[in-house]
């Protein structure tokens, strides 16, 4: 096991980088920016993992609690044992078998919405795409011979890697949409240009190694500012509060 540790760490790094790139792709897509045009580095993409790793840890923890709770309720019995020891085996078997149709129903929702000319939000497409992949994965690896010929490691990787990439990309889409809709803190950026200082106001969408990505909610566009040009930045609310507290007396 220790011999494989360096390889596992390398695979984990590649996995985190791929998930972070997926997040950034979704983020820049909403901002109507070409991903290749952003002056990002590998460290910038790795830093993006801070936006999705906390949610991933919470999700894994919740799934772990659910699995432990289910095992305790089911008393460690197999699927056949649960059905056979129940009071009504046929009903229990039908109920437990019916859960496999849930992804099919979810995937059918966009078809129904499109047929009635209803709008579909971008985040909804993420859910539909996620369950479409689950159905496709079940179809491919549902055959007993294919499952027997596939290693457990490849089976787990091929199942969860696309799921993580889909979730991360739509998390990036959601975070960018929140910014374009007026979310986030408005900052005042004091810039040094040649011999004078100028100020711009905008939402700090992202901070890269060498640039700040600023969203101008009035112009509905992004602006890249070199970190070295920023003399000072502070929340715009701080300026408003300072103006309110400034005494104005007239004699």
Average pLDDT score, the chain: 83
- As given in the structure block, the two tokens for residue 68 are 């432990």
Q: What is the DSSP letter of 229?
A: G
State whether CATH 2.30.30 applies to domain 186-244: yes
pLDDT: is 246 or 92 the higher one? 92
pLDDT digits (tens, 9 = 90+) for 4-48: 777 778 888 888 999 999 999 999 988 888 777 888 888 888 888
Burial class (CB in 10 A: 0-12, 13-18, 19+), 201: middle
Q: What is the DSSP letter of 181?
A: T
The pLDDT, as a whole number, for residue 87 is: 80
The pLDDT, as a whole number, for residue 194 is: 66
pLDDT > 90 fraction of the chain, expressed in percent and rounded: 14
pLDDT above 90 (res 73): no
Of the listed ranges 13-22, 119-128, 141-150, 240-249, the least confidently predicted one is: 240-249
Using the structure block, give the residue that is written with the tokens 């790094």: 13
Residues 6 or more apart whose CB falls under 8 angstroms from that of 206 comprise 27, 212, 213
pTM: 0.78
The pLDDT, as a whole number, for residue 1 is: 58
The pLDDT, as a whole number, for residue 249 is: 41
Domain residue extents for the chain: 9-180, 186-244
pLDDT above 50 (res 52): yes
pLDDT above 60 (res 55): yes
pLDDT above 80 (res 247): no
pLDDT: is 210 or 250 the higher one? 210
The pLDDT, as a whole number, for residue 19 is: 92
Task: Read off the pLDDT of each residue in 43-61 and give the average, rounded to a whole number.
Answer: 88
pLDDT above 50 (res 216): yes
pLDDT above 60 (res 237): yes
pLDDT above 90 (res 119): no
The pLDDT, as a whole number, for residue 21 is: 92
Is the Cα torsion angle 123, 129, 132, 137 positive or negative in sign?
Answer: negative
The pLDDT, as a whole number, for residue 250 is: 39
- Give per-residue burial for 208-220: e unless 16+ CB within 10 Å, then b: beebbbbbebeee
Residue 31 phi, psi dihedral angles, 5° rounding = -80, 5
Give the confidence band of 113 by pLDDT, cuts at 50, 70, 90.
confident
């Amino acid at each position: 096991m220790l011999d494989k540790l360096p390889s596992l760490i390398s695979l984990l790094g590649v996995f985190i980088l791929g998930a972070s790139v997926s997040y950034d792709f979704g983020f820049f897509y909403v901002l109507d920016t070409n991903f290749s045009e952003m002056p990002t580095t590998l460290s910038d993409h790795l830093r993006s993992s801070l936006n999705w790793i906390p949610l991933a840890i919470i999700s894994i923890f919740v799934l772990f609690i659910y699995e432990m709770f289910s095992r305790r309720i089911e008393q460690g019995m197999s699927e056949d044992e649960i059905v056979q020891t129940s009071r009504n085996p046929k009903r229990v078997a039908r109920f437990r078998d019916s859960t496999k149709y849930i992804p099919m129903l979810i995937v059918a929702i966009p078809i129904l919405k499109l047929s009635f000319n209803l709008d579909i939000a971008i985040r909804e497409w993420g859910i539909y795409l996620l369950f479409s992949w689950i159905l496709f994965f079940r179809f491919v690896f549902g055959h007993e011979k294919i499952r027997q010929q596939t290693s457990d490691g490849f089976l787990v990787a091929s199942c969860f890697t696309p799921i993580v990439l889909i979730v991360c990309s739509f998390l990036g889409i959601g975070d960018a949409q929140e910014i374009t809709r007026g979310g986030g803190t408005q900052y005042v950026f004091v810039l040094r240009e040649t011999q004078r200082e100028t100020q711009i106001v905008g939402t700090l969408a992202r901070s890269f190694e060498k640039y700040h990505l600023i969203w101008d909610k009035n112009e509905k566009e992004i602006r890249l500012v070199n970190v070295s040009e920023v003399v000072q930045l502070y929340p715009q609310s701080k300026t408003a509060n300072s103006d309110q507290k400034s005494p104005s007396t007239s004699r």
